Structure 1
Amino acid sequence: MSRLPVKSLAALLAGTSVLLLASSGAWAKSSDRGQAMDIEAGATSGSLDDRQPTVLSNGVTISQGSLQIEANTATITTRGGEPVRAILTGGPVKLKQQLDDGTPMNATAGKVDYDLTTEVVIFTDKVNIQQPRGSLSGPRVVYNMKTGMVNSSADSSGRVKMTIQPKQGQAAPAPAPAKPAPKKGTN
């Protein structure tokens, strides 16, 4: 496994931590933000300045608190020494995190693209987000961190699918009692 130089690691940590927590948005466990982030990759390449992106490859794993991410590659672009874009790709990208209420969130996508300047995260290619209260799947999910808006869209060959489970403790209303059948011979 390859370790990043300190300057590159600092930029990557800033970009990736925002990416990772943003990608799970309202789902993120708030205490994860204060945890150390561990990043491992089979290889790294890139410059320590803005000339070209830093690429982590050959199996990237990122963990921070309850957050666990696996991807084939992570590409971090910087401007002025600060990360401005992070792209995770491959195999698919897998995100797991514990929610504040202790329940799990799992997400997969072929690609996760986070623009730090606009604070928009785009999940594409077989997106599947699972939580105990429901799920969302489709070819594309866009999450705007500033507004909290989630937009899903389907391409010509697919559909967006959502499942929303009832809250725990809320049973479905009982069916109305059946009316007794009229007795024969009475009007």
Structure 2
Amino acid sequence: MKNSRIAIALAALALVAVSGVALARTSDRRQAIDIESGSAVYSTDDSRPTVLAGGVTITQGTLRITSSTAEITMRNGEAVRAVLRGGPVRMSQQLDDGTPMNSVSSTADYDMQADVVVLAGNVSVQQSRGSLNGERVTYNMRSGQVASGGAAGGGRVKMRILPKNSGTP
């Protein structure tokens, strides 16, 4: 029972990688999830969140997530929220077309009930066609909408979009 609860919670963490990328490798979701951490603390019921610490690494197919800690909140035996913090949080994954996506942030917060991922704190999302930088990036997986904002003190959102390779010099 304990192992299945942790596996469900950690599977939810892997979904965090969808943030910022609507076309993440779909076959990754059908792969096994491997998790490593220095420690894991969890309860046999939903009274306290599962906390992974001491360097967390999650891999599933081409997806790789690293952070200092991960906290998974369960309700009625289902993971409802996953929060990764520090180190910083790094995610990398291949898109369905084979190109890489990488992101770095201070935190990644995935609300599984709303299907919303929020990357916060010096966010950088890099893809082959461009980049997005800001203090906060919110990705609604149901609607596909991405919103980005600068720091509360007036920071700026920065994007760079590269031209499509037209095949001409």
Instruction: Name the TM-score class by shorter chain.
Output: over 0.9
Residue 182 of structure 1 corresponds to none
Q: Which runs of 5+ in 1 are unaligned?
A: 173-187
For residues 70 and 18 of structure 1, the distance between their equivalents in structure 2, rounded to whole angstroms, comes to 13
Pairwise CA RMSD of aligned residues? Answer: 1.7
8 Å CA contact 1:7, 1:48 repeated in 2: no
Following TM superposition, where does structure 1 have runs of at least 4 consecutive aligned residues deviating by more than 4 angstroms? none
For residues 162 and 150 of structure 2, the distance between their equivalents in structure 1, rounded to whole angstroms, comes to 22
Residue 163 of structure 2 corresponds to 166
1:48 positional shift: 2.4
Residue 109 of structure 2 corresponds to 113
Cα deviation per residue 1:89-108 (whole Å; 9 max; x = unaligned)? 00110001011111111100
Report the TM-score, using the length of structure 2 for normalisation. Answer: 0.93
Q: Which has the larger radius of gyration?
A: 1
1:117 positional shift: 0.8
1:73-152 alignment to 2 at 5 Å?
73-152=69-148
Percent identity reads 50
1:112 positional shift: 0.2
Q: Which runs of 5+ in 2 are unaligned?
A: none
Report the TM-score, using the length of structure 1 for normalisation. Answer: 0.85
Say whether 1:6 aligns with 2:3: yes
8 Å CA contact 1:108, 1:129 repeated in 2: yes
